[in-house]
Amino acid sequence: MNTLGFGLLGLLTQGPCSGYDLMLKMEPIWKAQHSQIYPLLAKMEQEGFVVHELQPQTEKPDKKIYTITDTGREALLAWLPEPPDERAGRDEMIIKAQSIWLIGPEAGRALFTNREAVYRDRIRYYQELLDKHHQGGVQPPSPSSPDFGSYILLKRYMGVFTWQMEWCRWVLSLLDEQAE
Amino acid sequence: MNTLGFGLLGLLTQGPCSGYDLMLKMEPIWKAQHSQIYPLLAKMEQEGFVVHELQPQTEKPDKKIYTITDTGREALLAWLPEPPDERAGRDEMIIKAQSIWLIGPEAGRALFTNREAVYRDRIRYYQELLDKHHQGGVQPPSPSSPDFGSYILLKRYMGVFTWQMEWCRWVLSLLDEQAE
DNA sequence: AGGTACATGTAATTGGTTACATGATTCC
DNA sequence: GGAATCATGTAACCAATTACATGTACCT
């Protein structure tokens, strides 16, 4: 099984769920298309990590409600403590930034202004998710709560995107300096 | 052509280079294996974006020195100003963090202690690269200098990894709180 | 009339990693 | 003797995106 598979198992420890809902729940942390999730769930079922039962619906396609098995839980618990791979973070902006000197300050400014806005939107998005988290209890979830993972990840994304937004502004200030 | 291809073109605007050296130069910003780079360069040559000439070597395999063509430079300049795709940043640690509550505070602490060290190493690595940058001139490169891209990217990585290191420490502090 | 959400699936293609393959040189 | 660096390449596989496919309900 792959990393995405373990991500799905992690969500299923919090309760049975359809493939569609798993896709939505994965979105903030590890975006994957349904075309990747549905076949993976089927494969995971073949290998005994999950089982599903049909929930008939009228006027909508039937749902497949997946549940994690003991085998699945064991596999997840064995995988979790292993030191994670460090993955290459690939972002087109990196490649464009590398060659920014080629396109002149105006086009460069457009690129970074645009990016700054993208990061601003993402920060708003993650802030909203954090606010939802705080709706119930005002206290941050304890490390033994199932919500702890989402909580610390939201904080992580907030920080990463905030830094990148500031980085865009810093680059813009360098570009402006030259214009003077 | 794909994003990696444009990255290679960007490096080639700074001078002709072998596939092997391109791989090394790409490493800090967009890690790719030689098995991805060599066939891509061949394809890019077929499409007229680069040309190569053989540099015979004794006791070592001959080098293929690639040079960007006018077509290649035009394609790069047309691509650069387009707003970049926002790519999903996939890192196994994200999936593990999501399910951290399942493995208990000791194993969780091990995971984050390990990760903190990984980020610390990366910061040291990027700091060294930044120092090398500053060796020649003490002034940061101007936006019209070919080094400007590398310079701002190194700063970006420094910031991103610094934040993630601090995030690890913050999570560790939460885990410790519970232990008390 | 067109877009979004719900709900699932397959097929084609691209992107990326791992492994196989060769061969000299240098460092520990 | 074994690992690392230089230097290229192919083959097999896995991961991920895009497109094709179906069908209802609701909103504008």
Please report, for the domain that includes residue B50, its CATH number. Answer: 1.10.10.10
Q: Which tokens is A160 given?
A: 């990463």
pLDDT at position A39? 97
Question: pTM for the complete prediction?
Answer: 0.76
Instruction: Say if residue B174 is in the same domain as residue B127.
Output: yes
Percent helix, strand, coil in chain B, to 5, is 65, 10, 30
Instruction: Say if residue A109 is in the same domain as residue A38.
Output: no
Domains of chain A: total:
2
HEC string of chain A? CCHHHHHHHHHHCCCCEEHHHHHHHHCCCCCCCHHHHHHHHHHHHHCCCEEEEEECCCCCCCEEEEEECHHHHHHHHHHCCCCCCCCCCCCHHHHHHHCHHHCHHHHHHHHHHHHHHHHHHHHHHHHHHHHHHHHCCCCCCCCCCCCHHHHHHHHHHHHHHHHHHHHHHHHHHHHHHHHC
Give A142's contacts in chain B (Cβ within 8 Å). 178
For chain A, the C-alpha Rg in angstroms (whole number) is: 21
Instruction: Say if residue A96 is in the same domain as residue A152.
Output: yes
Distance B83 CA to D20 C1' (A): 28
Residue A84 lies in a domain: no
Residue B85 lies in a domain: no
Q: Which of B29, B31, B102, B164 to mutate to test the interface with A (most CBs of A within 10 A)?
A: B102
pLDDT at position A174? 94
Distance B60 CA to C23 C1' (A): 8
Instruction: Say if residue B113 is in the same domain as residue B51.
Output: no
Q: Which of B3, B94, B113 to mutate to test the interface with A (most CBs of A within 10 A)?
A: B94
> Which residue, counting CA atoms, is nearest to the C1' of nucleotide D16?
A36
Instruction: Say if residue B125 is in the same domain as residue B51.
Output: no
Residue A87 lies in a domain: no
Q: Would you call A81 and B111 a contact, using CB atoms and an 8 Å cutoff?
A: yes
Q: Whose C1' is closest to the CA of B59: which nucleotide?
A: C24
Residue where a domain stops, chosen among B52, B79, B106: B79
Distance A157 CA to D17 C1' (A): 23
Nucleotides of C under 7 A from a protein CB: 6-12, 14-20, 22-25
Residue where a domain stops, chosen among B29, B46, B79: B79
Does the structure show a pLDDT above 70 at A75? Answer: yes
Q: Would you call A101 and B149 a contact, using CB atoms and an 8 Å cutoff?
A: yes
For residues A61-76, average pLDDT: 92
Instruction: Say if residue A59 is in the same domain as residue A125.
Output: no
Domain that holds residue B73: 3-79
Q: Whose C1' is closest to the CA of A58: which nucleotide?
A: D24
Instruction: Say if residue A99 is in the same domain as residue A162.
Output: yes
- Which residue among A76, A100, A146 sits closest to B149, beta carbon to beta carbon? A100
Instruction: Say if residue B75 is in the same domain as residue B104.
Output: no
- Which residue among B92, B150, B153 sits closest to A85, beta carbon to beta carbon? B92
Q: Whose C1' is closest to the CA of A30: which nucleotide?
A: D16
Q: What are the C-alpha distances in Å from A108 to residues A175, B82, B153?
A: 8, 10, 14
Mean pLDDT (chain A) is 87
Residue A19 lies in a domain: yes
Instruction: Say if residue A105 is in the same domain as residue A69.
Output: no
The phi-psi region of residue A15 (left if phi > 0; otherwise alpha if psi is between -120 and 50; otherwise beta) is left
pLDDT at position B79? 85
Residue where a domain stops, chosen among B79, B114, B139: B79
Instruction: Say if residue A49 is in the same domain as residue A73.
Output: yes
Instruction: Say if residue B65 is in the same domain as residue B97.
Output: no
Distance B32 CA to C15 C1' (A): 11
Residue B70 lies in a domain: yes
Does the structure show a pLDDT above 70 at A161? Answer: yes
pLDDT at position A22? 95
pLDDT at position B16? 96
Instruction: Say if residue B96 is in the same domain as residue B155.
Output: yes
Whether the CA torsion B168, B170, B171, B176 is positive or negative: it is: positive
Residue A152 lies in a domain: yes
CA distance B155 to B141: 13
Residue B153 lies in a domain: yes
Q: pLDDT by residue for chain B (180 residues), tens digit each? A: 899 999 899 889 889 999 999 999 888 788 899 999 999 999 999 999 999 999 988 777 789 999 999 999 999 888 887 877 777 777 778 888 877 888 888 888 988 898 898 888 888 888 877 887 776 667 888 898 888 888 998 899 899 989 999 999 999 999 998 666
